[in-house]
Amino acid sequence: MTGPAGPARLAERAGPVRRWRAELAWLPGLGVRPDVLIEATGDRVTAVTPGAAPGHAPGATRLPGLTLPGLANAHSHAFHRGLRGITQAGEGTFWTWRERMYELAARLEPASYLALARVVYAEMALAGITCVGEFHYLHHGLGGTPYADPNEMGKAVITAASEAGIRITLLDACYLSGGLAPDGTPVPLAGPQLRFGDGDGDAWAARAEALGADSRGMLGPLARAGAAIHSVRAVPPAQMHAVIAWAQRHGVPLHAHLSEQTAENLACQAAYRATPAEVLHEAGALGPRATVVHATHLAGRDTVLIGGSRAFACFCPTTEADLADGIGPARALASAGSRLTLGSDSQAVIDIFEEARRVELGERLASQRRGHFTAAELATAATADGHASLGWPDAGAIVPGALADLVTVALDSPRLAGAGPDTVLESVIFAATAADVRNVVVGGRDVVRDGRHQLIEDVPAALSAAIRAVLD
Ligand SMILES: [Zn+2]
């Protein structure tokens, strides 16, 4: 039943009216413009007026600096934040890093997972991230025993994002095996991995269904459902179909780790006589709602299969550098038809500007040539395309009708002082850090104001406490 539809009732439903006056704002099709009046009702932008006269909206909130659409972190494992620094000590590989990650995974329970994820997402908010894609595989209790609510862990990260004030797409990951044996048989999950498993694809889908997404795929006011195939190592092709079918039925994003390591490619070739991209293609997992994460070591026709399907390619360059994965073919994938997105993945750092410039800088190092991506292309990966890959096509651009998610980067820091008016986007993409983010708005609501999180008092202290609680 709906209530009375009088003007007062409609205004209440639409939410408060807000106005911001951005010193500079990056607008689709227009580039960076000065004196931009941005108006919103509730969580939606209603008007955008570049070159607004000074007296036009005297009550508007001033946003000094460059205002961008909210940033999308398209690939996150929140709990990996607890490993920052620890895994930098000594030598090692991706595989030794993974052992440390498993030790931490074994310690998390719903309450400690919520406490940690909440402050990791607050760190993301302070870095200008207004939407996170949480690639979630820590499903069950120790030994793989389901909690009373089998989705308790997934609901914990949704609550965490809500309390930190940011959007989330819960990319619920199917994770069934611990790898592929040299003869291609799946290795059963063992030890800490037992928590990741649902048994088979159908059981995964039944649990994902019980999350209770509505007809638009929503799990809450700021939360959306999504699906993930952990990787070809963790999900045999015959089990992928249940995940793909569930994602298609709900019209939600489908993500998968792909070819992060050459060892994965070798095991996949031994098992299936195909590359990971060919396995996903054969299974029907690629397409415009799909995202392949990393895509570092592609071979043969992989680039054509991924780009031709219009799948997104998510690059996580700080993690890929940290884990000595390699440099993926970003330009080749983009030229083949993939839209690029960016992720903080292992949380080695949480800084989408750093991820964005490293896509271009990696290409430069690999090719010994400059100029593969423009600052605007990298900013699009960080905003509109990142959101689209997470199922939020109406976020990531400052236009009427879009979600009112804004990030303002101060230009008075030592890093950005002197930025020229014609190259300010280049200055921000190639020199800004997360510390330069001054104001963040999510759905018309202030989440960060003057560099301070508005919902969580002291984010560094809260991060320290949450990390100590799971490590000590
Ligand atoms: Zn990952």
Phi/psi region, residue 91 (left: phi>0; alpha: psi -120 to 50; beta: rest), is: beta
Q: How far is the CA of 26 from the centre of ligand 1 (A)?
A: 30
Q: How far is the CA of 9 from the centre of ligand 1 (A)?
A: 45
Report the distance separating Cα 231 and Cα 469, nearest Å. Answer: 30
Q: How far is the CA of 232 from the centre of ligand 1 (A)?
A: 13
Contact between residue 138 and residue 113 where contact means Cβ atoms under 8 Å apart: yes
Instruction: Give the model's pLDDT for residue 1.
Output: 35
Contact between residue 36 and residue 49 where contact means Cβ atoms under 8 Å apart: yes
Instruction: Give the model's pLDDT for residue 97.
Output: 80
Residues 193-215 have pLDDT tens digits of 999 999 999 999 999 999 999 99
Scanning the structure block, which residue is given the tokens 């390591």? 261
**Which has the closest alpha carbon to 431: 364, 354, 379, 369?**
354
Instruction: Give the model's pLDDT for residue 439.
Output: 98
**Which has the closest alpha carbon to 196: 98, 290, 285, 286?**
98
DSSP strands (E only) in 139-262 = 167-174, 177-180, 186-188, 218-220, 223-229, 254-258
Contact between residue 120 and residue 344 where contact means Cβ atoms under 8 Å apart: no
Phi, psi of 268 (to 5 degrees): -65, -40
Q: How far is the CA of 75 from the centre of ligand 1 (A)?
A: 6
Phi, psi of 101 (to 5 degrees): -65, -40
Tell me the sheet residues that pair with 228.
173, 255
- Categorize the per-residue pLDDT at 2 as very low, low, confident or very high, splitting at 50, 70 and 90: very low
Residues 308-325 have pLDDT tens digits of 999 999 999 999 999 889
Q: Has residue 48 got a pLDDT over 60?
A: yes
Q: Has residue 27 got a pLDDT over 70?
A: yes
Q: How far is the CA of 386 from the centre of ligand 1 (A)?
A: 15
Q: How far is the CA of 138 from the centre of ligand 1 (A)?
A: 13
Distance from CA of residue 47 to its chain's centroid?
Answer: 27
Q: What's the whole-model pTM score? A: 0.96
Q: How far is the CA of 77 from the centre of ligand 1 (A)?
A: 6
Q: What is the DSSP string of 11-73?
A: HHHH--EEEEEEEEEEETTTEEEEEEEEEEETTEEEEEETT--TTS-TTPEEEEEEEEEPEEE
Q: How far is the CA of 257 from the centre of ligand 1 (A)?
A: 6
Beta strands 445-449 and 437-442: pairing type?
Answer: antiparallel
Report the distance separating Cα 306 and Cα 289, nearest Å. Answer: 12
Q: How far is the CA of 289 from the centre of ligand 1 (A)?
A: 18
Contact between residue 131 and residue 168 where contact means Cβ atoms under 8 Å apart: yes
Report the distance separating Cα 438 and Cα 452, nearest Å. Answer: 8
Instruction: Give the model's pLDDT for residue 64.
Output: 97
Instruction: Give catalytic residues, as residue numbers.
Output: 294, 345
CB atoms within 10 A of CB 196: 23
Phi/psi region, residue 138 (left: phi>0; alpha: psi -120 to 50; beta: rest), is: beta
The average pLDDT across 275-298 equals 98
